[in-house]
Amino acid sequence: MAASTVRLTMAQALVRYLCNQFTELEGARVPLFAGVFGIFGHGNVTCLSEALEAVQNQLPTWRGQNEQSMALAAVAFAKAKKRRQIMVATSSIGPGATNMVTAAGVAHTNRLPVLLISGDTFANRQPDPVMQQVEHFGNPTITVNDSFKAVTRYWDRITLPGQIISSLPQAIAAMLDPADCGPAFLALCQDTQELAFDYPEVFFEPTLWAVPRPRPDRSKLAEAVRLLKTAKKPLIIAGGGVAYSLAEAAVAKLAIERHIPIVETIAGKGILTHNHEAHAGPIGIIGSTSANALAGEADVIVAIGTRLMDFTTGSWTAFGRDAKFISINTARWDATKHRAVAVVGDALETVDELDRALGVWKASPSWMDTARQLFAEWNALVDKYQTPTNAPVPTYAQVVATIHRGAGADDRLITAAGGLPGEVVKGWRVKNAGTFDCEFGFSCMGYELAAGWGNAMARQGRGTPIVMIGDGTYMMMNSDIYSSVLSGHKMIVIVCDNGGFAVINRLQNFKGVPGFNNLIKDCRVKQPFAVDFAKHAESMGALARRCESLADLEAAMEWAQTTDRTTVLTIVTDAFQWVPGDADWDVGVPEVSTRKSVQDARAHQLEIRSKQRIGV
C-alpha cells in the first residue's frame, strides 16, 4: 500500500514541518520554533511569506527593521531560553542575507541556536543574473549565501523540493546538539520555493525534541577524580555551558560540599547570585581581583562549560605554570585545550558523576575562607568606585550602581561590546540567577537593543530587560527601539554618552598611541556635537528622559519601571574613569616605532607574553 502524501510547495512544506516540532520547557510541551523574525524581499516574499501568512497565529512572524538586528534578537531569545527554544530569521537574497552574517557569527561563537533562512538565486539559472545576484565568473554555483559557511554549524542550499525531508531534521539536530550547537542556515532557491511536491504525511507528524545529555568516558572521569584528589587549592571556573545544561545547582553543591570556590566567566555570570556562599567573583581581564588571585594560586582548575577565551584566561597568564586543568565540556574541541584532562560530557551528568566518585574527599575549609576574604575585599573596592563623588560627570561604575538599585530582582541586565561589559561584569551584583546577558564572545556592537527585544519576547512576565549601551553602539544600531514599541515588548534602555568609542580609546592610549579616531573630539569632524538620544528615542515611539545627574537617573529609573512601553534614559558619563582590572591581555603592539610611549608599551607586552602558559 502506497504511503499517504500531501502536495505542497517546498515553502509550504518547510513551514508546516517547523510548526510540528516541539520541545519541553519547565515540564510543559511548547513549540520548538517560537516565531519568525522576517524582512521580506523578492527572494522570500512571494513563496515563503505566503506559507508563513497562513500560519501566523500558530507561528507568529515579527517584522524587524534590519536583518542583522532581527537575527541578533533571535540569538538573544535562544540564550534566554537556555538553547531549548529557537527563533527563525528570514531574509531575501543579496544584502538582506549578508546583513545576517554578523548575527550568525555571534550565534556561532556563543554556541547558540538560530535558524537562518535566506532566499537564493534560481536553481535553473534561466533568469540569471537576477537582481542582487553577485556573480562569480569561474564558479556560477557560488552566491553570497556561501558566506554563511564560515559562521554556521549546518549549511544547506535547497535546489529540489524533496531535499528538505533530509535537511530539516539534520538542521534541528545540529542546533540542539550541545557539542555542535550553533546556527543553521538554509538557502532557498527562488524557483524551488514555488515547486509542488508530494511529501509523505509522516514527514509532518508532531515530533518532540530533547537536548541530549552525553555521559563522560569512565576512564577520563576516573583520571579527573585522581587529579582533583591531589588538589590543595582547587578552583571551579563556571561558564555559560553550566546554565545551558541546567547544572547550576549541581555545580553549586559540588563547590559548597567540597570547599571549592567558584569563579565565573563572562558567559557564566548569573549562574550564581552575587552573594552565593561559593561565589568568588568574575575571572579574567574584566574580572575581579579576588577571582584572579585565586586563579594564580590554584593548583587544579575545573573548567565547566567554558571555551576558555582570552578574556577568561588573561591570554593564558592568569594561572600558575604548574596548575593542572580538568575541562568538562560537551564539545571535544573546547575540552581539549591546554593539556587539560578532557572530560567530554554533559555538565550536569558529569558533575553528578564526578561528585559521587570523589567519595569523602574535600579541600581544606581554609581555602574557601581565603576565597571569601578576597571576595569581601573586592566588594569593598567596587563599593569605593561606585560611590558618588562631587565630580561634574559620573563614571560608568556610578551609573551601574544607580541602575542596579532600581532594578527588580527578575529584571535581566543586557549589554555587549565597549566599556560597559567590564563595568557590569565587575560591578553588577546579580540578584537572581539567570538575569545577566553580556555578549562578549563575538563582542558584537549592536547586539544590545536587539537582544533587549528578544529577551522581552523570551521572558514575558519575568522582569523587564534592562539594556545598558554606549553612545557609539547606539548610533550603530538603534532601530529595535522602534521594533519593541511596535510589538509591545517593553525594555528599559540606559544610554551612557561618553563622546564616542571610549574604551577602545583607552586601549589605544594604554599601548602608546595618542587619541585618534575613537572619541568624537579626536575624529576628522567639522565640529563635535552631542546627539540628543532622548529626542531620538521619542521619535521612534519610546518614552525618554535626559538625566543631568545620578539623582536624576535614580528618579528616572523609578519612573521607567512604571511605564507601559520601552523607555530610554540618557546620561553623560566619564570617558576616562574605569573600575581597575589586574589581568593581562595579549594584543599586537608595534615592534618598531619612533614613539617612546609605543616602545615602552612594546616592552610591557613582551613581559606579559613571558608569563603565558605554553599550550594550545
Residue range 25-36, pLDDT digits in tens: 989 999 999 999
- Over residues 428-451, the pLDDT tens digits come to 999 999 999 999 999 999 999 999
301 φ, ψ (degrees, to nearest 5):
-110, 125
Q: Are strands 324-329 and 300-304 parallel, antiparallel or unpaired?
A: parallel
The Cα 426–Cα 314 span in angstroms is 15
The number of domains in the chain is: 4
Average pLDDT over residues 596-613: 94
- Over residues 58-73, the pLDDT tens digits come to 999 999 999 999 999 9
pLDDT computed for residue 338 by the predictor: 86
pLDDT computed for residue 615 by the predictor: 66
Residue 79 has pLDDT above 70, yes or no: yes
Task: Tell me if 602 sits within 8 A of 589, measured CB to CB.
Answer: yes
Whether the CA torsion 284, 285, 290, 293 is positive or negative: it is positive
The amino acid occupying position 495 is: V
Task: Let me know if residue 460 belongs to a domain.
Answer: yes
Average pLDDT over residues 331-352: 96
Task: Let me know if residue 140 belongs to a domain.
Answer: yes
Average pLDDT over residues 558-581: 96
Entry pTM: 0.96
Task: List the domain range (segments joined by +) for residue 108.
Answer: 5-208
Average pLDDT over residues 248-272: 98
Same domain, 136 and 183: yes
Average pLDDT over residues 243-247: 98
First to last CA, the chain: 58
Residue 1 has pLDDT above 90, yes or no: no
Q: Are strands 279-282 and 115-120 parallel, antiparallel or unpaired?
A: unpaired
pLDDT band at 43 (very low <50, low <70, confident <90, very high): very high
Grid cell, residue 346, equals 554533559
Task: Tell me if 271 sits within 8 A of 243, measured CB to CB.
Answer: yes
105 φ, ψ (degrees, to nearest 5):
-65, -40
Q: What is the CATH number for 156?
A: 3.40.50.970
- Over residues 173-185, the pLDDT tens digits come to 999 999 999 999 9
Residue 238 has pLDDT above 80, yes or no: yes
Same domain, 117 and 28: yes
* Domain end position, chosen among 335, 357, 377: 377
Task: Let me know if residue 577 belongs to a domain.
Answer: no
- Over residues 357-393, the pLDDT tens digits come to 999 999 999 999 999 999 999 999 999 999 999 899 9
Mean of all residue pLDDT scores within the chain: 96
Same domain, 362 and 468: no
pLDDT computed for residue 341 by the predictor: 98
Q: What is the CATH number for 230?
A: 3.40.50.1220
Residue 87 has pLDDT above 60, yes or no: yes
Same domain, 359 and 501: no
Report helix, strand or coil for 510: helix
Same domain, 199 and 222: no
Same domain, 349 and 425: no
| Percentage with pLDDT > 90 across the chain | 95
Same domain, 144 and 275: no
Same domain, 529 and 607: no
